[in-house]
Amino acid sequence: MSDPRETWTSRLRDLSDEVPPENAERFVNDLYAAAQADLDEQRAQADFEREE
């Protein structure tokens, strides 16, 4: 899967001219990192449960 952050940042900026580009990029990066961490945790839990 390709990295969707640039597209998401662009879409966020299209929603409002009041969001500075740096803030939009930081928000998207933070959201992406949190989502990846959640997915990693879910995968780890599933792997643990399979091994039991």
Cβ atoms of 6 and 32 closer than 8 Å:
no
Stated length of the chain = 52
Cβ atoms of 12 and 24 closer than 8 Å:
yes
pLDDT (tens digit per residue) in 12-52: 999 998 999 999 999 999 999 999 999 999 999 999 999 88
* pLDDT surpassing 70 at residue 1: no
Distance, in Å, from the CA atom of 38 to the CA atom of 31, rounded to the nearest integer, reads: 11
Per-domain residue ranges for the chain? 5-51
